[in-house]
Structure formats: C-alpha cells, structure tokens
Amino acid sequence: MSSGMELLLEIEADFAELKREFTLFLNDIVKIEPYELKESLIRKVRRLRNIGNLRTEEQFRANNINAKITSHLALWERQLEKKYSGKGQRPKPKKRVAKPSVLEAPKNKSVVISDSGAQRERVVELYDEYTRLNLILGARKMINFSKFQNFINSQTRKIQNAKAVDKVRYEVLVHDQKVVIKSKSIKKKKNVEG
C-alpha cells in the first residue's frame, strides 16, 4: 500500500470520528468542541495535497474526501455560530484531557418503573432517549418499540424478583460508542416505628 493511500485511509477514519464528535458536541452530549481533532485532520489534508505521485484512483478519492471535509467544516462553522449567537463570544478551544468512555444521558432522563405494563409513558421516555442517542451515534440498527418494551418488562420483573424490590431505575447511556440501558434496583425504605 502506498504512503498516499495510507494517509487517505487515516484521513477517512479521522473524518468519520470528527463527524461523530461534532454531532455529540452540537447536541450538548459532550461539552468540549473537538478542536484538536479538527486541526489534526486539516494538517493531514494539507499533507495529502503535497503528495505529488498519487495514482488516478487515489487522486479521485483524495478530491472526494477533500470536498466532503471542506463542506462539513463550513457547515460546522455555521452551526457553531448559531450555537453561540446570543451567548456572547465563542469560547476559546479547550484541550481535551481524556476521551470519556461513558457519556451519560442527562440526569432527568433516568426513569423509575414499578410496573412497565401500567407505566407505558415511562417506557416511551426511555425509548425516545435510546433512539435519540442511537441517531446521534449514527447507528444503523435499532430495536423497535415492541421489543424494547418486552425487554424492559422482563428486566423489571427479573430485578424485582431477584432483589425483592418494587421499583427499578433505568438510564440510557453511551458506553464505548454503543447505547446501553443501565438498570438499578431501588431499595424499599424501612418503616421506622416511633
């Protein structure tokens, strides 16, 4: 494989990562703009332009990815301007310390269920969050609502029986770039006789 093709493949992978990061940032899932990744990608594109001995197919692919990156950078810039309009000046880019392995859904999205059959609206809340996060991550396959509801029904009964509790708290999280449903039993409060 030529050095030009290796760089092309690297740029394509970085571009896919940057698209995902910008989607998460623009939807307020991640609080830090992916500035470093964007700058790194721009440097690699410049390096690719300076390679003079690309084969025809590599040149075509390079032009194609360059056009996509240019249009996305312009789109993201407009979206950032819109995001920061009315909020004063755009903040200076912050360096990302470490890539988070778990992105939690907002705290108000946790749902407590005691009887999923009677509390359909709470299952719908969970499913909406599950769908929203999957769309942000660009997932191609998602389970339908009926299967999701069956899963919540069986999970709730299983936890209630195993832990001898009435209620189960569910949260929708992103872990290792996948949407997961986290469940936790809620202990019964002991009655204190006075």
Q: Total domain count for the chain?
A: 2
- Higher model confidence: residue 1 or residue 186? 186
Structure tokens at 53: 């001995």
Measured CA distances, 182 to 4, 119, 145, 165, 168 (Å): 44, 18, 17, 17, 10
Examine the pLDDT at 174 and tell me if it is beyond 50: yes
114 pLDDT band (50/70/90 cuts)?
confident
The answer to whether residue 96 is domain-embedded is: no
Task: Say if residue 106 is in the same domain as residue 75.
Answer: no
- For 21-42, write each residue's pLDDT tens digit: 999 888 888 888 898 999 999 9
Whole-number Å distance between alpha carbons of 102 and 19: 18
Helices (H), 88-144: 120-137
Task: Say if residue 127 is in the same domain as residue 73.
Answer: no
Nearest to residue 23, comparing CAs of 115, 139, 192? 139
Whole-number Å distance between alpha carbons of 147 and 151: 6
Task: Say if residue 124 is in the same domain as residue 167.
Answer: yes
Examine the pLDDT at 179 and tell me if it is beyond 60: yes
104 pLDDT band (50/70/90 cuts)?
very low
Domain coverage including residue 181: 102-186
Task: Say if residue 135 is in the same domain as residue 107.
Answer: yes
Helices (H), the chain: 3-26, 35-50, 56-84, 120-137, 145-163
Task: Say if residue 113 is in the same domain as residue 148.
Answer: yes
φ, ψ for residue 121 (rounded to 5)? -60, -30
Contacts of 23 (CB under 8 A, 6+ apart): 136, 137, 138
Task: Say if residue 60 is in the same domain as residue 118.
Answer: no
The answer to whether residue 167 is domain-embedded is: yes
